[in-house]
A and B are shown apart, each in its own frame.
Chain A
Amino acid sequence: MSISITLNGEPRTIDDGLTIAALAEQIGLNPAKIAVERNLEIVPRSILAEVLLTDGDTLEIVHFVGGG
């Protein structure tokens, strides 16, 4: 089974039953270096490994980059 989400503005099909932390690791991201917003709400880092993604979710995954 798979579900459709929007990740950083792009549509993406992912396995059903993934937590946000599991998705991040699948993509190759270190969950300790990112912040996640799900459907416009911040997901505290402490529960990234608990929150299950559902069909239609909109995710923003950000990190720090160079800036002035």
Chain B
Amino acid sequence: MTDTHDTPDTWTVAGQTFTSRLIVGTGKYKDFAQNAAAVEASGAEIVTVAVRRVNVSDPKAPMLTDFIDPKKIVYLPNTAGCFTTDDAVRTLRLAREAGGWDLVKLEVLGEAKTLYPDMRETLKATEILAKDGFKPMVYCTDDPIAAKQLEEAGAVAVMPLGAPIGSGLGIQNRVTIRLIVENAKVPVLVDAGVGTASDAGVAMELGCDGVLMNTAIAEAKNPVMMARAMRLAVESGRLSYRAGRMGRRMYADPSSPLAGLI
């Protein structure tokens, strides 16, 4: 094998091919300028966005689209804050009208305290969206069976949580994330729970196709610097996965030759 780090290493979701494996959120930033600078530093080609009511009393307020150009960066509309299938589907139908594209992020939450996904509603919503022509990338529990069911229902990517949204706790169950990766025919992205660069590296070393994060960058002391750290961690984790790590041993194995010792 003559594989080098120069080999193009892209990933494809619903027919769209991307080079960056980092998807970043656009919430919680100090302002749009900082947000745009962080997106630039992250190298992300996709950003998640929320769908909300226009503030009709202040229509001239700055808008996200003035700072992050949807013609250059793919907007992935989410259903954050939706707790039922109906709310999520309704939100994404509006998003499709606002944006004009079918690639969306579905999340149906079970309760406010953990923001854990409600998988019964999530599965139902995935089926409805797929039948309606959407390409849903689906936020889910780190459950290999649920991930498979979502794929069968029409999810174009499955996005298991590493830990609760906004918790920054890192990947809590590497075994289940790896099981999802091994069984999936669609891209797998860790969505939620990343706190620092090494967490993103772990996700990529487990063989995930990408990582989605928001708070880890937005709530860093220096979000733009952290965005770059995440970019490097995702690239480095991916290279490490492709390179194939060494085996684990219980005991030491000297790196210097034993022969010729004085």
A residues adjacent to B (C-beta < 8 A): 7-10, 27-29, 33-37, 40, 42-45, 60-68
Contacts and interface: CB of A to CB of B under 8 A. Distances in A.
B52 A65 contact: yes
Contacts of B75: 64
Contact of A35 (B27, B49, B98): B98
Contact of A66 (B49, B90, B166): B49
B48 interface: yes
Contacts of A60: 53, 94
B59 A28 contact: yes
Given A28-B59, A42-B94, A45-B97, A67 B50 contact: yes
Given A35-B94, A35-B95, A66 B165 contact: no
A67 B56 contact: no
A67 B54 contact: no
Nearest to B67: A66
Given A35-B95, A67-B27, A68-B26, 9 more contacts: A29-B56, A33-B65, A33-B98, A35-B51, A35-B96, A42-B97, A61-B54, A66-B35, A67-B26
B20 interface: no
Contacts of A63: 51-52, 54, 63, 65, 98
B117 to A, nearest CB: 14
A65 B64 CA distance: 6
Contacts of B96: 35
A17 to B, nearest CB: 20
A65 B98 CA distance: 12
Contact of A62 (B78, B98, B214): B98
Contacts of A44: 97
Contacts of B99: 64
Nearest to A28: B59
The 6 closest A-B pairs by CB, nearest first: A67-B50, A68-B214, A68-B25, A35-B98, A28-B59, A66-B26
Interface string B24-51: 0111110010010000000000001111
B85 interface: no
B80 A67 contact: yes
A64 B35 CA distance: 14
Contacts of A10: 56
B134 to A, nearest CB: 13
Q: Which of A33, A37, A44, A64 has the most CB of B within 10 A?
A: A64
Given A8-B54, A61-B53, A61-B54, A67 B25 contact: yes
B50 A66 contact: yes
B97 A68 contact: no
A66 B29 contact: yes
A5 to B, nearest CB: 12
30 contacts: A8-B56, A27-B56, A28-B60, A29-B54, A29-B59, A34-B54, A34-B98, A35-B94, A35-B95, A35-B96, A42-B94, A43-B97, A61-B53, A62-B53, A62-B98, A63-B54, A64-B63, A64-B98, A65-B63, A66-B28, A66-B29, A66-B32, A67-B26, A67-B48, A67-B80, A67-B214, A68-B26, A68-B27, A68-B48, A68-B166
